[in-house]
Structure 1
Amino acid sequence: MTQVWILMQGEDFEGGHITGVYATPEDAREDFMEAAARIDATFTIDGALLKGGALTVHGGCDWLRLAPYDVLSKPPLPH
């Protein structure tokens, strides 16, 4: 099964949005570090959690998550 890594960020109790989709976590490293630095500069990072392969960083009311997702492939629908 194919896997992609999705970078998301948002605010507690406000939801979030996808900021990038990557083939590997290494491909996401620069974008993750830049976003984490912005959170740290604004609120100071107050927590980090690695769970189920996903890395989540939290600061103030903002969060950032890089998580693996399986891509389901199915045959195309007939026209």
Structure 2
Amino acid sequence: MARSRRRTPITGMTTAESDKGFKVKEHRRERVALRALDISSQEPQSSKLFGNPWRGDKDGKQRFDPAMYRQLMRK
């Protein structure tokens, strides 16, 4: 099997499996803010204000030594 191992030794920084729950909550918060807005008199907020990745469960990615952490090279 050619794809059973990672090709690059990079993984997430925390133990959270994914950012899906965080993203769902933030998009819901954005939709609620848009529905509460009076379009005729106010400008909508920028979508960049919602879903700040630094507040998420995962804070990005990091490199690791594949020889030291062989289990992380498995998919």
Q: For this structure pair, what is the TM-score category when the shorter chain's length is used for normalisation?
A: 0.3 to 0.5
User: Which one has a larger percent helix, Structure 1 or Structure 2?
Assistant: 2
Q: Which has the higher contact order (CA 8 A, sep 6+)?
A: 2
TM-score relative to the length of structure 2: 0.34
User: Which one has a larger percent strand, Structure 1 or Structure 2?
Assistant: 1
TM-score relative to the length of structure 1: 0.33
